[in-house]
């Protein structure tokens, strides 16, 4: 059923500079479909409200979803998260990056079930604390005041911001049954990543 997570919206962050790729990362094809199109299809199934946060709206007019521009002229993912939270009509926002080619809807639903009593739900791709994945995570609107304060003071790191917040970190082992290889957490940041993770016919 469309929009099954009624108290959550979803936002895809597409604000990176894309300097290391020959094409916009969101437009890399996986299984013959652009990453942005594949992920929007998954988001629309789960969430009734879906948006793209971008400073290049001309690239993303065609999917027909809401486009948001960063509220503050401070580049970085936390500005995108803040913008999505501020514009959401519901209490929670699920955030994903535009260069994640193997987003798994079942993982998202599992994470959503872990929100009670927390202000963020963040998975970990390994046991290390540094492996937290804040760009594949749920955020509560309750974080807006403290996030705005952090942004206005020049702080940009989401991982640092989440320190001392009520965060439910989901261990890798907990998600392994749904996503055995951890594909949901893969980002295509460089041409080398494309070589490692994509089939030959999908490489730009």
pLDDT for residue 109 is more than 80: yes
Q: What is the average pLDDT across 33-61? A: 93
Q: Which fold has domain 8-198?
A: Spore Coat Polysaccharide Biosynthesis Protein SpsA; Chain A (3.90.550)
Q: Report the interhelical angle of 144-152 vs 77-87 (nearest 10°).
A: 140
Instruction: Tell me which of 132 and 3 has the higher pLDDT.
Output: 132
Distance, in Å, from the CA atom of 112 to the CA atom of 11, rounded to the nearest integer, reads 15
pLDDT, mean of residues 2-9:
80
Query: Could you give the 3-state DSSP secondary structure of residue 14?
Result: coil
Which of the two residues, 30 and 106, has the higher pLDDT score?
106
Q: How many Å apart are CA 127 and CA 13, to the nearest integer?
A: 26
DSSP 12: E
Please indicate whether residue 22 or residue 155 has the higher confidence score (pLDDT).
155
* Per-residue pLDDT at 63: 86
Whole-model pTM above 0.75? yes
| pLDDT(2) > 70 | no
Sheet architecture: strand order including 92-97 = 66-68, 50-53, 8-13, 92-97, 136-140, 120-123, 167-170
Instruction: Annotate 97-112 with b (16+ C-beta within 10 A) or e (fewer).
Output: bbbbbbbbbebbebbb
Q: DSSP letter string over 45-92? A: HH-S-EEEE-S-GGGSSTT--EEE--SSS--SHHHHHHHHHHH-SSSE
Question: Given pLDDT bands bounded at 50, 70 and 90, which one contains residue 3?
Answer: low
Element holding 141 (H helix, E strand): none
Q: How many distinct helices (H) and strands (E) make up the chain?
A: 7, 9
pLDDT tens for residues 169-199? Answer: 999 999 999 999 888 998 887 777 777 766 6
How far apart CA 96 and CA 103 sit, in angstroms, is: 9
Mean pLDDT, rounded, for 95-107: 94
pLDDT tens by residue, 112-169: 999 999 999 999 987 655 789 999 999 999 999 999 999 999 998 999 999 999 999 9
**Extents of the domains making up the chain:** 8-198
Flag whether pLDDT at 1 surpasses 50: no
pLDDT at res. 203:
52
CA–CA distances in Å: residue 160 to residues 6, 130, 150: 29, 10, 10
Burial 131-167 (b: 16+ CB within 10 A, else e): ebbbbbbbbbebbeeebeebbeeeeeebeebbeebeb
- Mean pLDDT over residues 2-27, rounded? 80
Q: How far is CA 173 from the centre of its chain?
A: 21
């Amino acid at each position: 059923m469309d929009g099954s997570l009624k108290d959550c919206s979803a936002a895809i962050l597409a604000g990176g500079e894309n300097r290391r790729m020959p094409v916009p990362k969101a437009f890399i094809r996986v299984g013959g479909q652009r990453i942005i199109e594949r992920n929007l299809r998954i988001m629309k199934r789960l969430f009734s409200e879906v948006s793209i946060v971008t400073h290049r709206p001309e690239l993303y007019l065609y999917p027909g979803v809401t486009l948001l521009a960063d509220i503050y002229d401070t580049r970085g993912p936390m500005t995108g998260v803040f913008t999505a939270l501020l514009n959401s009509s519901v209490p929670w926002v699920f955030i994903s990056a535009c260069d994640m080619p193997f987003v798994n809807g079942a993982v998202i639903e599992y994470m959503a079930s872990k929100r009670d009593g927390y202000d963020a739900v963040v998975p970990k791709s390994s046991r290390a604390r540094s492996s937290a994945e804040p760009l594949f995570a749920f955020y509560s609107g309750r974080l807006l005041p403290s996030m705005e304060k952090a942004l206005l003071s020049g702080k940009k790191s989401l991982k640092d911001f989440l320190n001392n917040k009520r965060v439910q970190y989901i261990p890798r082992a907990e998600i392994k049954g749904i996503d055995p290889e951890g594909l949901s957490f893969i980002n295509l940041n460089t041409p080398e990543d494309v070589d490692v993770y994509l089939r030959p016919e999908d490489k730009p």
